[in-house]
Structure 1
Amino acid sequence: MAGTTRLELPKRTPNYRFSFLPLADVMFQLLVFFMLSTNLTAYSILSIKTGAVASDAPAQATTDDGAAPDDSLAQPRVTAIWTLNTDGVTARGQRFGPDKLQALADVTAAQGTQHVLIVVRPKVRVQEVVNVLELLSARGIASVQIADGRV
């Protein structure tokens, strides 16, 4: 046994690699957490202040020096909400077809409404949105906001 020699194996140098698997696990868990913690009701925080009708409006207040206050501060903002569907517009719970949109715009402008929020539902063509915008612009309603109607 004295004649046996010991065979030396070459030393392996450790090869350290960066593994992306733990990073992917953490990113997936964060994604699931943020998806579950988000609020999916986008329009629940939409606050729209409406004013009284012209006949119910109180007398205009005056400041200390007798001048009338700025109208933008004294009068509440009246906003009409229109939901644009593929078959017409829904306003105040009533559905108006494409043939009744001019009458709806006339009544809206006659009531003194200067602001319109248009909620556009899916599958509505761009031309339908343009038609409603032109209709409102022709009636003198220039303040129009467009919201995405996907819930």
Structure 2
Amino acid sequence: MSAVKLSRQVLQGMLSRHWGRIIFISSESGINVPGNMIHYGTTKAAMLALSNGLSKLTKGTQVTVNTILGGPTYSDGVAAAVEYIAASHQQPAEVIRQQIMHSANPHSLLERFIDPAEIASLAVYLASPLSSAINGASIRADGGVLRTL
């Protein structure tokens, strides 16, 4: 797993400097594992465990390890799939986009896909000194898809 290898490469240097940020991008699927994508949910759950364990190694330093739990995001890959489906069904892409969003994510409070920039904005905050009190956290940017506390 690349997250493990990368963490091993950077964590010791951060600890020796007493400052650094490790930010994992996971998914709400790590908590609510989809039955049709167990392999995906399992890897995202493993990332949550990795982040939690690594954060314990940073005690007493200004190194933080956190995870962003993204929700349904309109990535380039999703956009390409929407365009393909729209073309094959001779429908406007926006119609297909809404259909997919509502059928696959009926509990979304946003009722829209998340823009990748919204996830990036959270990552920028977590990378900044302003987030110094946040360590070992799994922070949701899931649009309200997860229905747990």
Structure with larger RCO (C-alpha < 8 A, sep 6+): 2
Larger radius of gyration: 1
TM-score by length of 1: 0.30
Report which of the two has the higher share of helix.
2
Q: TM-score, normalised by structure 2?
A: 0.30
